[in-house]
Structure 1
Amino acid sequence: MDLDPDLAALRPLGGFFVLRTAGAVRETTTGRPPTLAQTYACAEPDARGNALTVRVRTVGQRLRTREPRVAASIAHQALAARLWSTALGCAAVYGRLPDLDPGLLRWDPDAVAPDDLWLTEVRPLPGDAATLADAVLRGHLEPLGEALRARHGVAAGLLWGNAGSALAAAARELDRWARGSGRTDVAERARALTTELFDQPLLGATGTRTGTSFRRRSCCLYYRVPGGGVCGDCCFARPPCSSPRAASG
């Protein structure tokens, strides 16, 4: 199936999979949202006007946590989930991937899915695992991780664990939708692509997969949020209560 200009086939999959395209780009209260390339490039710790800094601060306020690295981890996992969902969804449904170059994706740090991301131009690419890895792992998650480590000191192992967890969750939701919709072809493509992606060195050590389930080897620190606990794929069975730096990566 060819990519359509609105990527309309993603809409039935749910908000995390939907990717707005050029016609949906709008002005916000602070003007047109920056590209993710601009967001990643500004890595100074005191970059207060940077979109990533704004998102981490907003997440911290919403979750009522005073620990910047906790807010940074949760913000990272949410963006990683959006990127994996749209990329894997396109590859499994269309058999093609739109070019997700960070210079083509605009990101509103104050919005939630699907209004947070807009693709300014739909350029078709192959929908194979190698292209997905180049687009998401190397195009986004590597520079995103570097920016968060520079600004908030989040451990690399934690961030790659977030990336693995986000990919597994996207694959699980896509499999659920495909089977419920009678699209076994989509389920099979998603499963094969996910398996190949977890063969990537950056993802292979992040956790253990059994079917569509995933158990990560690190913790995203959600247990440190007031009222939080451990996630379904956490390495811990219950929230740790020892060192304040426990499970940092």
Structure 2
Amino acid sequence: MRVVAQRLGAAEPRVAASILHLGLAARFWSVGLGAAVLLGAVPSLERAWLRIPDQGPIDLWTPQEPPASGPLLDQLHETVLIGQLEPLATAVRSIVPLSGRLLLGNSASALAGTLRVLDGHAPGAARALVAGLLDRPPLAGTGTLHSGPRGTAFRRTSCCLYYRVGPGTGVCGDCCFTRPPERPREARQTRQP
């Protein structure tokens, strides 16, 4: 998390932890949902490994292993959400105090982001799987998915804390806020004569 905090210039460990979690969730959903939609199977992610390069996004590799079996929706739920993202959220929360709801929102937001990328390749299959995952616990209630002829939008019900990266930072594209909330200290400073 220190590396992410340094790159972001974020002073709060909670902010760096949330953004790191969101990035990792995006990598896992990209591999899982992308393979499900484009190849018809979800790869096992049990031996996946991650690397934070000196520059650029987090790398994720997984060795070739037999894919999971069963309906794709169940495979994605078990392999990505239960097998990877729930343990990741538990690990993050053991280091930094973050709401479980915030981390579920990150998982849902990362899933919707993956759908936006896949929309141009296999919109029907991808949208159906994502809608199914977002209707199923524990992601049910984490946000609202809107799909239409111009693509997909998602509005989450929790905040990832991106707006707290630094002064002038806006909100993420899926944010529950329309503009960054005012922080208590900022509110006091703007009210002083």
Q: Is 1:230 aligned with 2:171?
A: yes
Question: Aligned with 1:208: secondary structure?
Answer: strand
Q: Is the 8 A contact 2:135 2:141 kept in 1?
A: no
- Cα-to-partner distance string for 1:51-108 (whole Å, 9 max, x where unaligned): xxxxx1111001111100000000000000010011000000011111111xx11111
1:112 and 1:170, CA in 2 relative to 1: closer, same or farther beyond 3 A? Answer: farther
State the alpha-carbon separation in 1 of the partners of residues 76 and 104 from structure 2. Answer: 16
State the alpha-carbon separation in 1 of the partners of residues 129 and 176 from structure 2. Answer: 24
* Residue of 125, 132, 136 corresponding to 1:189: 125
State the alpha-carbon separation in 2 of the partners of residues 89 and 158 from structure 1. Answer: 24
Q: Summarize the alignment of residues 1-40 of structure 1 with structure 2, pairs less than 5 Å apart.
A: none
* Residue of 99, 103, 107 corresponding to 1:155: 99
* Residue of 174, 189, 193 corresponding to 2:118: 174
Aligned to 2:77: 133
State the alpha-carbon separation in 1 of the partners of residues 85 and 33 from structure 2. Answer: 15
Aligned to 2:29: 84
* Residue of 59, 66, 70 corresponding to 1:116: 59
Aligned to 2:48: 105
Q: Which runs of 5+ in 2 are unaligned?
A: 186-193
Question: Aligned with 2:119: secondary structure?
Answer: helix
State the alpha-carbon separation in 1 of the partners of residues 17 and 58 from structure 2. Answer: 20
Q: Is the 8 A contact 1:90 1:98 kept in 2?
A: yes
Q: Is 1:201 aligned with 2:137?
A: yes
Sequence identity percentage: 49
Aligned to 2:158: 218
Q: Is the 8 A contact 2:36 2:42 kept in 1?
A: yes
State the alpha-carbon separation in 2 of the partners of residues 159 and 105 from structure 1. Answer: 20
Q: Is the 8 A contact 2:144 2:154 kept in 1?
A: yes
- Residue 102 of structure 2 aligns to which amino acid in structure 1? L
State the alpha-carbon separation in 2 of the partners of residues 162 and 235 from structure 1. Answer: 12
Q: Is 1:67 aligned with 2:12?
A: yes
State the alpha-carbon separation in 2 of the partners of residues 115 and 159 from structure 1. Answer: 18
TM-score relative to the length of structure 2: 0.87
Number of residue pairs aligned between Structure 1 and Structure 2: 179
Q: Which runs of 5+ in 1 are unaligned?
A: 1-55, 179-185, 245-249
State the alpha-carbon separation in 2 of the partners of residues 153 and 199 from structure 1. Answer: 27
Q: Is the 8 A contact 2:163 2:171 kept in 1?
A: yes
